[in-house]
Structure 1
Amino acid sequence: MRPYRVLVVDDEPDFLETLVRRLERREIPARGAASGKEALAVLETEPCDVMILDVKMPGMDGLEVLRVVKTRWPAVEVILLTGHASVESGIQGMELGAFDYVMKPCKLADLIPKVEQAYERKLLRERAGPP
């Protein structure tokens, strides 16, 4: 099933670095972005299959980023991380097209299967073609 590309977006540097490093140790190519604007700039030049996106960030929050991603790169599957945000933010994100949401802090053992499921969904949609 691999390799798929993951973009992790979080404004907490330690969390971001750790998650990217732990994904790469499991042979999942990952890249980090410290803000919503940085994530959008990365997507302009580097495609990704799955985005792990923090909801609560200064400036452009995760829901705003999700709206842009689903408009410009609809094939990217997005998993929201809700920490300081509420479950309502996760549900709102699902309504905007997110694949799923995970409460922060999360265990990598719980996150990786969601990433794999999101990638499988992306592949199924690509095979099915446009609606």
Structure 2
Amino acid sequence: MGTGDVMPAREVLAHYYRYANSGRWDRWCDLFAESMFMDEQLAGRIEGRDKLRSMMTGMGELYASFENQPLCVLVDGNQAAVVSRITARSASGKPIEADVMNYFRIENGLITYMANYHDTLPFQVLSQS
């Protein structure tokens, strides 16, 4: 893509999962608009990319491994929904398996809003590690 080109929504989503699965959390944060909002099931409401970036700095320390595999991706204009499966291990090696549903609004090639929904029970091992 050349300078000034806007990344299509489907490509933004492909990068979202690629960066998460490779632990490139700073690049993952770059996919969000500066004034983004996120309703995250475990962390609550997150406002602003800078706050998101500071929260994600410890992500690599929480997990020994992390994979979020998209199973179904639906894109309609600037909205998208993704059903995915997280397979991970906590830093202490405890397994985490969770089905996830994410909703995205993407404007000008950046995620402006995201909401995620999943079973919170598998993530309780993070607080027990």
**TM-score (norm. length: structure 2):** 0.29
Pick 1 or 2: higher relative contact order, CA cutoff 8 A, min separation 6: 2
Give the structure with the larger strand fraction: 2
TM-score (norm: length of structure 1): 0.28
